Structure 1
Amino acid sequence: MSLIEVKDIRKVYRVDDEKIVALGRINIMIEQGEICCILGTSGSGKSTLLNIMAGLEKPSKGKVVIAGANVTSFSERQWARFRQQNIGFVFQSYNLMPTQTAIENVAMPLMFKGVNKRRRTKEAVHMLKAVGLGSRMMHKPTQMSGGQQQRVGIARAFVAKPKIVFADEPTGNLDSKTSRDVMEIMVGMAKRYHETLIIVTHDINIAQYADRIINLHDGSIVSDGPNQSILSFADKAEPVSAAANG
C-alpha cells in the first residue's frame, strides 16, 4: 500500500456565477521515502493539491488516504492531531515565531507531542547543528538571514521525525546559491530518515532535486515520471551544508 493515495480529487471554486476548476480528477500514489516534486506555473493547481493532501482545504470530490486512513473525512480536531503525529511543513515565508530563539522554534513540534523540555531542547540542538546553525541557536529570526531562517524551518519540520514533509515553494524568497544549500539540506534530511518529501515549486531547477516530478497544468497532470536527482548522497553520512551562514 502506498503511503499517500490521491483518488479522483477534484476542486471547484465558485466566484459569483462562474465555476473555476482548480483541480480536475487528480490521481497520485506516493510511496514512503519518496522525494516528489509537484511542478507547475502560477494557477496550475499545485498549491491547491498540496493543501488538500495536508488537510488545509477540502476537495469538492474524491479522497486522500494517508497510511491507510481516509483523511478527507477527518474533522478539524482529528486533522490537528494527525498533523502533529505525522506531518512537517516548510514554508516559503519561513513562518517562524519572531519572539522565540531558533531552539525554541525548532522544539515547538515536540512540545505539541508532549515531549519534556530537556529532551526537546536536546533534539532541537541536534537538528540545528545538522542544518549548519550550531552558532545561531540562541538567535531570533530578526537576527538571521533568509537562508538561516529557512534552515530553522527545515530543522523544525524534521525534528519530530514525521512520515511526510510538505515544502511549499521552500526557496521562493532565497537567492540561487542559498536555494541550492537549502535544497541539499532538506532532501538530505529526507533521505537520511527515509521520510516522504513533497515539494511544490514553479522552478524547474528546484524540481531537479526530486526523484519524481509531477507536472501540473490548468489543474491536470500533464506528466508524471522518475527523475535523476542532481544530488548524490552516497558519500554523505550527515546532511550538513558547509555554508552555515547562508
Structure 2
Amino acid sequence: MEAIIKVDNLKKIYIMGSEKVVALDDLSLEIEEGEICCLFGTSGSGKSTLLNMLAGLEKPTSGTILIKGCPIHKYDEVQLAKFRQRYIGFVFQAYNLIASLTALENVSLPLIFQGVPKRERDKRAIEMLKAVGLGDRLGHKPNEMSGGQQQRVSIARAFVNRPTILFADEPTGNLDTATTYEVMNIITGIAKEYKQTLIIVSHDLEIADYASKIVTMRNGNVEKIKYTLNQERGKGEKQYAIL
C-alpha cells in the first residue's frame, strides 16, 4: 500500500526559559493509507507532539511532513485550516462538544464550514448519530448525556464529513472499561468500513491492541514498530511481527 503520511527527520525543540527540550528527535515514519496506527508510549515520549505535527496544529523545528503528497510543514495557517477541513477529523479525550448545541447540531457543525445545505447536513448527522447508537438522542445537549454518549457524539462529528485521516487523542481516557471497548469498537469499525486512515494516541496497551500497527515511542523517536492482524477484539489470536 502507498504511504498516505510520510515523515522524515522530524525535530521539535521547545525553549523553556534557558532550557531546550527536545520533544521529537530526527523522527522518520510512514503510515499507509487505510492503516489503523497507534502512537504508543509513556508521558513525555513524544506521541502527542507527533500527533500535533501531523495534524498541523504545531510547526516542526525541522524536517518534513507529507500528507497525501502535500508538504504541510510549509503551509501557513490558512492553508492548514483548509487542509484539515477537507481531509482531517479529530476525536479528543475531553469530547470538546459545544454545551449550548444539541447532539444533532454538534455533529452537523463541521458541514456548515463546508457549505453543505441544512437539509443535507441534518441527514448526514442523523445517519452518523444512528451509526454510533444515538438515534434517540438527537435533541439532547451534552449535559443531558453520559460521558460515553458524549464521546459517541464526538465520534459522529469526527466522521460526518468522511475524513481521509482521523486522529484520536487518548479517546477513552475519561471512560470506564466497558464503555472504552464500545467506543474503540465504534471508532475502528467505522474507519475500516470507509477505509479511512486512523491514528490513535494512547499510553494504554488495551487501546494499542486495536491497531494494525503499533508505533512505540521513547525520548522523541520511534523505539519499535509492531504489526498485528488487526482482528476484531475477542475473535481469534493476534500474531505479531516486530521490526
Residue 60 of structure 1 aligns with an amino acid whose one-letter code is: T
CA contact (8 A) 2:37 2:198 kept: yes
Q: Equivalent residue for 1:240?
A: none
Residues 25-44 of structure 1 correspond to what in structure 2 (within 5 A)?
Answer: 25-44=26-45
Deviation string, structure 1 residues 172-218 (Cα, Å, up to 9, x no partner): 00001000000000000100000000000010110000000000011
1:40 CA displacement: 0.6
Deviation string, structure 1 residues 146-177 (Cα, Å, up to 9, x no partner): 00000000000011011000000000000010
Q: Secondary structure at the match of 1:65?
A: strand
Structure 1 unmatched runs, 5+: 235-246
- Aligned structure 1 segments of 4 or more residues deviating by more than 3 angstroms: none
Q: Equivalent residue for 2:139?
A: 138
Shift of the 209–135 alpha-carbon distance from structure 1 to 2, 3 Å rule, reads: same
Greater Cα shift, 34-43 or 8-17 = 8-17
Q: Equivalent residue for 2:116?
A: 115
Residues of 1 paired with 2:7 and 2:62: CA distance? Answer: 11
1:227 CA displacement: 1.8
Greater Cα shift, 198-207 or 216-225 = 216-225
Residue 173 of structure 1 aligns with an amino acid whose one-letter code is: N
Residues 1-246 of structure 1 correspond to what in structure 2 (within 5 A)?
Answer: 1-231=2-232
Q: Equivalent residue for 1:237?
A: none
Tell me the TM-score normalised to structure 2 length: 0.94
Report percent identity of matched pairs.
54
Residues of 1 paired with 2:190 and 2:234: CA distance? Answer: 10
Q: Secondary structure at the match of 1:95?
A: coil
CA contact (8 A) 1:208 1:228 kept: no
Residue 51 of structure 2 aligns with an amino acid whose one-letter code is: L
Tell me the TM-score normalised to structure 1 length: 0.93
Structure 2 unmatched runs, 5+: 236-243
1:230 CA displacement: 5.0
CA contact (8 A) 1:208 1:230 kept: no
1:233 CA displacement: 11
CA contact (8 A) 2:210 2:233 kept: no
CA contact (8 A) 1:188 1:233 kept: no
Residues of 1 paired with 2:113 and 2:156: CA distance? Answer: 16
1:226 CA displacement: 0.5
Paired residue total: 234
Residues of 2 paired with 1:60 and 1:140: CA distance? Answer: 41
1:232 CA displacement: 6.1
Residues of 1 paired with 2:3 and 2:81: CA distance? Answer: 22
Q: Secondary structure at the match of 2:3?
A: coil
Deviation string, structure 1 residues 32-83 (Cα, Å, up to 9, x no partner): 1100000011111100000000000111110110111101100100000111
Residue 171 of structure 2 aligns with an amino acid whose one-letter code is: P
Deviation string, structure 1 residues 6-38 (Cα, Å, up to 9, x no partner): 111011111122111111011111111100000
Q: Secondary structure at the match of 1:167?
A: strand
Q: Secondary structure at the match of 1:190?
A: helix
